[in-house]
Amino acid sequence: MTRAVLWDLDGTLGDSEEYHWLSWRDTLAPEGVVITYDQFLARFGQKNDRILRDWLGPDAAHDRIRRLGDAKEAEYRRIAAERGLAPLPGAAEWVARLHEADWRQAIASSAPRQNVDVMLKALGMARSFEAVIAAEDVTAGKPDPQVFMAAAFRLHVPPSHCVVVEDAAAGIEAARRAGMRSVGVSRTTTLDADVFVKALDELPADAFDRLIVHSRP
């Protein structure tokens, strides 16, 4: 049976939360836009246009949204390249273990492709995945299932044989809409996933196998 794991990236494989917070805060402040950390967390993992429409209001000009989004991502990449990134507990080990067990693996991220490339390089995982789906590859962000469906299509694996690994509620909902099983991982909130852990190194050795065995036909 062909099986696949579709990985979110930010906050799932690498801990980039602080870098995203700093880059949003410091990009918006000169514009007179002040956001709280809770506001940031509520939108973490979503596409920039959706985030900025919430923070700037529905009447915000498209050019302004694009300019601020591009500036934020440039600042994020600068911080990530300068400070580096470390895999979250259990992340590198699971990617290697699944590869050895002949699971296909893809990145399915709402981040721009340049960010994904910077993160994978910083994490030392650039060659670990057979496909990478980024913001430019889809027209709708999570919780829309498009990013996961695109990754499954790229890997030639049916949705019922895919497991999504996510750290955000929007991603878990996207997996459900795609007809895929899910693993939720978060140190700060409980996610309504098929399996939930606070860190990937808490997953039992047969966690992914069991999800596919019990998946819908």
Fold for the domain defined by 17-83: DNA polymerase; domain 1 (1.10.150)
The distance of Cα 149 from the centroid of its chain, to the nearest Å, equals 14
Roughly how many angstroms between the first and final C-alpha of the chain, as a whole number? 13
Give domain limits for the chain.
4-15+86-213, 17-83
Of 39-48, 96-105, 136-145, the one with minimum mean pLDDT is 39-48
pLDDT in tens, 183-210: 999 998 999 999 999 999 999 999 999 9
- The CA-CA-CA angle for residues 141, 143, 146, to 5°, reads 55
CATH of region 4-15+86-213: 3.40.50.1000
Given a cut of 90, whether residue 93 has pLDDT beyond it is yes
Q: Give φ, ψ of 196 to 5 degrees.
A: -130, 135
- Pair 131, 151: CB distance under 8 Å: yes
Of 8, 144, 167, 194, catalytic: 8
Same fold, 4-15+86-213 and 17-83: no
24-47 b/e (C-beta count within 10 Å ≥ 16 → b): bbebbeeeeeebeeeebeebbbbb
Confidence (pTM)? 0.83
Is residue 214 predicted with pLDDT exceeding 70?
no
SS3 content of the chain, % helix, strand, coil (to 5): 50, 15, 35
Q: Rg of the Cα trace of the chain? A: 17
Beta bridge partners of 178: none
pLDDT digits (tens, 9 = 90+) for 120-157: 988 989 889 999 999 999 999 899 999 999 999 999 99
Task: Catalytic residue, from 10, 144, 167, 194: name it.
Answer: 10
Q: What percent of the chain has pLDDT over 90?
A: 79
**Is 8 assigned a catalytic role?**
yes
Among candidate residues 106, 98, 109, 99, the one with its CA nearest the CA of residue 76:
109
